Amino acid sequence: MKSLLFKIFFISALTIVFLGVPIKETKAQCAMCSLTAESSVKNGNTQGKTLNKGILFLLGCPFLAVGIVGLVWFKKYRDPEEPDDHGPEL
């Protein structure tokens, strides 16, 4: 039980640390998409930023799906907790 609590605490602490770190803007585009986006931004369009956000959204979806499956699996197969009070013993 203590090992499970330690793992949960450790993962929660790492999550808080990684979410608290400032992230600078990333560019998740292939070479051709990048050239198209750069040329459209030079012409005054904002399609490049939207394209970048769409690519990052598509990148995040598999991680979200794996996280949900892992959570459901954890909830389904974890050991049930036994109650501390078994009632009066005779």
Gap between the Cα atoms of 39 and 73, Å rounded: 46
Residue that has been written with the tokens 């909830």 in this structure: 75
pTM confidence score? 0.42
Question: Residue 23, Cα to own-chain centre: how many angstroms?
Answer: 14
The more confidently predicted of residues 6 and 69 is 69
With 70 as the cut, is the pLDDT of residue 9 above it? Answer: yes
Over residues 26-44, mean pLDDT: 70
* Average predicted confidence (pLDDT) for the chain: 76
pLDDT digits (tens, 9 = 90+) for 43-63: 777 776 777 788 788 888 899
